[in-house]
């Protein structure tokens, strides 16, 4: 079977990771990556041997920087079977007419409004709904973290009645030097619910969920504090068993290993030699799992830079209808080295 030709439009935090992930897939090939400005990420793309495509009007800027370009963005789209749109929030929608003009499928990110696509996507929750679709939207990093957790509990422990979740967001990505806050905790927004609850509902329909979010001055990970009310009473052991056995979820035992913070999760990832220290798994603090009658409480970290990468890969297979849910998740997990069980 011919490999799926994938193009990446937007080579920033998510785009560069998805490009690297595509290179590891046995059933995909990378056409190239498109970028608008000739910064260090363009240099690393060239160094990795990725073909670089740029907007026509920016060609001279890239040539001036000594970067070899392989064509313009239309050339890249024309060569591809499917486009991963990892352009900045809200920009993806403005590219959609171009993808349509070339009759190409596209995967958008959570920074776009839900109506940019036919379906919002989280692999563990609704892979099958995305089969054969032309336009799929991978939900945001925070929503991906929430959905992986909720679908696992809902499918393996007990049906969910109600979700109340507090999101403590990281202020900026590590590479960003002009974004804050750096000394404040900022309700984001001050109104309740935050948009995350609404975003969850694009994938799991009709549950009672309210989210509140603040931004904290850190770059490493988001942290979620969750309270779930279930239809039935629940035992902590049953929750633990379900989470331990779920792909793309790792457990952090703080009392045994001393890992008690997002910083230390990142340190372990560095020590394990993970590429870019990425942690695409939901990282659940085991000691935080607490049950009381039909209520479940837990805390987990969400690595904003990488958690949506496996979902983008699965979304490609769903859109192209080349693998079942289980097959796709298995290939993605194996090629990207995704774990389940204890991180260490």
The contact set with its own copies (CB under 8 A) reads 16, 37-41, 43-44, 47, 65-66, 174-177, 182-183, 217, 256-261, 263-264, 266-268, 270-273, 275-277, 344
Kindly tell me which of 186 and 210 has the beta carbon lying closer to its own copies.
186
Report whether 197 belongs to an annotated binding site. Answer: yes
Report whether 60 belongs to an annotated binding site. Answer: no
Cα distances (angstroms) measured from residue 224 to each of 141, 147, 303: 12, 12, 11
Kindly state the smallest distance separating residue 38's Cβ from its own copies, in Å: 8
Report whether 14 belongs to an annotated binding site. Answer: yes
Q: Which residues contact 186 (CB under 8 A, 6 or more apart)?
A: 214, 215
Catalytic residue among 6, 22, 28, 141: 141
Kindly state the smallest distance separating residue 266's Cβ from its own copies, in Å: 7
Kindly tell me which of 161 and 287 has the beta carbon lying closer to its own copies.
287
Residue 141 is among the residues annotated as catalytic for this protein: yes
DSSP β-ladder status, 208-216 and 186-187: antiparallel
Q: Which two tokens stand for residue 227?
A: 């309270």
Report whether 304 belongs to an annotated binding site. Answer: yes
**Could you write out the DSSP letters of every residue in 176-202?**
-SS---SS--EESSSSSS-HHHHHHHT
Cα–Cα distance measured from residue 125 to residue 236, given in angstroms and rounded to the nearest whole number = 23
Cα–Cα distance measured from residue 299 to residue 228, given in angstroms and rounded to the nearest whole number = 11
Report whether 170 belongs to an annotated binding site. Answer: yes
Kindly tell me which of 134 and 261 has the beta carbon lying closer to its own copies.
261
Kindly state the smallest distance separating residue 113's Cβ from its own copies, in Å: 29
**Gap between the terminal Cα atoms of the chain:** 38
Kindly state the smallest distance separating residue 78's Cβ from its own copies, in Å: 27
Q: Which residues are catalytic?
A: 141
Residues tagged in the binding site annotation for NAD(+): 13-14, 111, 170, 304
């Amino acid at each position: 079977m011919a490999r799926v030709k994938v193009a990446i439009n937007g080579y920033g935090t998510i785009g560069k990771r998805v490009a690297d992930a595509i290179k590891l897939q046995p059933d995909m090939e990378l056409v190239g990556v498109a970028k608008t400005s000739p910064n260090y990420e363009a240099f690393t793309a060239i160094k990795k041997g990725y073909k670089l495509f740029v907007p026509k009007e920016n060609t001279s800027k890239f040539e001036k920087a000594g970067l070899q370009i392989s064509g313009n963005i239309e050339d890249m789209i024309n060569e591809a079977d499917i486009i991963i749109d990892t352009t900045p929030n809200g920009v993806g929608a403005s590219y959609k007419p171009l993808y349509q003009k070339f009759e190409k499928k596209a995967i958008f990110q959570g920074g776009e409004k839900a109506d940019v696509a036919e379906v919002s996507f989280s692999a563990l929750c609704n892979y099958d709904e995305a089969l054969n679709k032309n336009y799929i939207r991978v939900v945001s990093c925070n929503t991906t973290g929430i959905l992986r957790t909720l679908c696992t509990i809902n499918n393996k422990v007990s049906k969910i009645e109600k979700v109340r979740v507090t999101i403590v967001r990281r202020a900026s990505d590590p590479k960003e030097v002009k974004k804050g806050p750096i000394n404040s905790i900022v309700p984001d927004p001050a109104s309740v619910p935050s948009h995350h609850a609404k975003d969850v509902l694009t994938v799991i329909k009709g549950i009672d969920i309210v989210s509140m979010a603040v931004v904290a001055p850190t770059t490493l990970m988001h942290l979620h504090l969750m309270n779930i009310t279930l239809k039935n009473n629940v035992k902590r052991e049953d929750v633990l068993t379900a989470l331990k056995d779920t792909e793309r979820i790792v457990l952090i035992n703080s009392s045994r290993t001393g890992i008690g913070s997002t910083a230390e999760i990142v340190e372990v990832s560095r020590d394990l030699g993970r590429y870019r220290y990425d942690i695409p798994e939901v990282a659940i603090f085991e000691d935080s799992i607490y049950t009381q009658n039909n209520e479940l409480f837990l805390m987990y970290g969400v690595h904003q830079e990488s958690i949506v990468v496996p979902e983008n890969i699965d979304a490609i297979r769903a859109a192209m209808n080349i693998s079942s849910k289980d097959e796709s998740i298995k290939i993605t997990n194996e090629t990207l080295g995704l774990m389940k069980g204890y991180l260490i």
